[in-house]
Amino acid sequence: MLLALVGLAFLCPSANAHSAPSGWSYDIECCSGLDCYQAPAADVRETKEGYLLSTGELIPYGDRRIRPSRDEFFHACKPGGMTTSRHSLCLYVPDRGM
């Protein structure tokens, strides 16, 4: 039985997220290896209600999907990495120094 469990552990892939171009790893709950990407700055606009994405999706400032970016860029995570999706899994926001 123990041998079977050890063998199974080697067959199961580990749960890893992929990395941003600058090298930091996206959170596993945001990314399944292909959901996240560095978003062009023009794709995210700050409004008084929250972050307005070029797809028309508004993510309010207090939303749990907002995460701190670990570089100076926005990063979006959408199902399957589909940049046109109106549903974001997470939005990584750079520090604005405010």
31-61 tens-digit pLDDT: 988 899 999 999 999 999 999 999 999 999 9
- What is d(CA 91, CA 14) in angstroms, rounded to the nearest whole number? 24
- Residue with tokens 């560095």, as numbered in its chain: 38
Count up the domains in the chain and report the number: 1
CA-angle at 16, arms to 92 and 42, nearest 5° = 25
67-94 tens-digit pLDDT: 999 999 999 999 999 999 999 999 999 9
Give the single-character DSSP code of 24. P
Give the structural domain span for 70.
24-93
Residues in Cβ contact with 4 at an 8 Å cutoff, skipping those fewer than 6 apart: none
What is the model's pLDDT at position 89?
A: 97
On whether residue 18 sits in a domain, the answer given is no
On whether residue 42 sits in a domain, the answer given is yes
Sequence letter at residue 19 = S
Position with higher pLDDT, 79 vs 97: 79
What is the model's pLDDT at position 10?
A: 35
